[in-house]
């Protein structure tokens, strides 16, 4: 039998080297280029790395630490088997994001009454719209060029995911009216037509909403296209993100690498003093 420790050790030995939306200053993002888009993608990844893999809470993430967590998750999802099916992958992803979906609900619930109004529910997506509408044109472009500039990740924070969810007429852009219509429809579906949405309804809606995205991710990770994931395939996305964040390639993500905004602010303050 393959034990959890065996899988975790094998992953660490063999693998080689990688929400909520925060409000930003739109005027400061107008001159963003492809490199800035990639930097923002890495910064979102850094937040997730620190959250998911800093097991001993020392502010750092080692490659061994990450591989142990991934090995444990793989073994748990597959019941210690050598491969992971699509059904097991979907169940694992649902469990992984359950807590973050619950945390997102509480962040959106501004008055803390345990339920969301339509205004609260749509706030994060409207903030994301403003961030992505760098020129203040009143719409978000979904062109290939702008995907590179705004972050090409298919996840929640990426432009491609935003466009996939909200470009309902498939004309290559998302207008404010289009986004408002999508938010209103999604809220009505999730709340069952009521004026408020509770935690269980919100979590269920988020899990259903990203089910298709998880299928796409499974297919991307399944590089040999056999319909199953080996542990290295399962870990490939996190390995790639680790390598992107690990600027000096020493196998350790330091606080400066995991919190680039704080590091830049500290450096800026030191230069002014």
Task: Please state, in angstroms and rounded to a whole number, the distance separating the CA atoms of residues 3 and 16.
Answer: 22
- For residues 140 and 174, is the Cβ–Cβ distance under 8 A? yes
Same domain? For 105 and 222 the reply is: yes
Alpha-carbon separation of residue 166 from 9, 16, 125 (angstroms): 42, 37, 10
What is the domain extent for residue 247? 1-18+34-84+229-273
What pLDDT was estimated at residue 35? 37
Domain check: are 268 and 220 in the same one? no
- Asked if the structure places residue 28 within a domain, the reply is no
User: pLDDT tens across 155-206, in order?
Assistant: 445 788 889 889 999 999 999 999 999 999 999 999 999 999 999 999 999 8
Strand, helix or coil for residue 51: helix
State whether 74 and 14 are in the same domain: yes
Say yes or no: 222 and 110 in one domain.
yes
Same structural domain for residues 117 and 188?
Answer: yes
Same domain, yes or no, for 45 and 154?
no
Instruction: State whether 204 and 243 are in the same domain.
Output: no
Lowest mean pLDDT among 9-13, 221-225, 228-232, 249-253: 9-13
Confidence of residue 238 (pLDDT cuts 50, 70, 90): very high
Regarding whether 218 and 102 lie in a shared domain, the answer is: yes
| CA pair distance 273, 270, nearest whole angstrom | 5
In a domain, 90, yes or no: no
Is 27 within the bounds of a domain? no
The confidence score (pLDDT) of residue 12 equals 45
Contact assessment for residue 233 and residue 220, using Cβ atoms and an 8 Å cutoff: no
10: three-class secondary structure by DSSP: helix
- Confirm if 162 and 172 have CB atoms less than 8 A apart: no
Query: Does residue 89 belong to any structural domain of this protein?
Result: no
- Reported as a single tens digit per residue, the pLDDT across 49-70 is 888 899 999 999 999 999 999 9
Same domain, 174 and 263: no
Q: Same domain for 160 and 236?
A: no
Extended beta strands in 24-97, E state: 61-62
pLDDT digits (tens, 9 = 90+) for 174-186: 999 999 999 999 9
Helices and strands, number each (H, E), in the chain: 13, 6
pLDDT per residue over 85-118, tens digit each? 999 999 998 887 888 889 999 999 999 999 999 9
pTM of the model: 0.62
| 226: enclosing H helix or E strand | none
Specify whether 200 is located in the same domain as 247: no
């Amino acid at each position: 039998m393959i034990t959890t420790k065996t899988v975790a050790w094998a992953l660490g030995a063999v693998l080689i080297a990688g929400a909520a939306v925060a409000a930003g200053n739109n005027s400061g993002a107008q001159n963003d280029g492809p490199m800035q888009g990639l930097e923002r993608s890495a910064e979102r990844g850094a937040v997730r790395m620190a959250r998911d893999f800093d097991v001993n809470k020392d502010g750092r993430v080692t490659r061994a630490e990450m591989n142990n967590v991934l090995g444990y998750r793989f073994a748990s999802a597959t019941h210690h088997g050598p491969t992971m099916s699509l059904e097991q992958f979907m169940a694992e992803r649902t469990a992984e994001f359950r807590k973050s979906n619950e945390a997102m609900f509480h962040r959106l619930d501004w008055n803390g009454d345990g339920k969301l109004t339509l205004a609260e529910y749509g706030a994060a997506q409207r903030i994301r719209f403003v961030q992505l509408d760098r020129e203040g044109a009143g719409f978000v472009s979904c062109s290939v060029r702008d995907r590179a500039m705004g972050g090409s990740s298919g996840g929640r924070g990426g432009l491609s995911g935003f466009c996939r969810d909200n470009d309902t007429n498939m004309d290559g852009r998302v207008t404010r009216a289009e986004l408002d219509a999508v938010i209103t429809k999604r809220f009505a579906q999730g709340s069952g037509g009521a004026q408020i949405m509770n935690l269980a309804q919100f979590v269920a809606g988020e899990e259903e909403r990203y089910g298709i995205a998880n299928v796409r991710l499974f297919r991307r990770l399944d590089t040999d296209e056999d319909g199953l994931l080996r542990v290295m395939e399962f870990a490939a996305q996190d390995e790639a993100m680790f390598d992107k964040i690990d600027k000096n390639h020493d196998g350790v993500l330091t606080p400066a690498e995991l919190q680039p905004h704080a590091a830049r602010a500290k450096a800026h303050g030191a230069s002014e003093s």
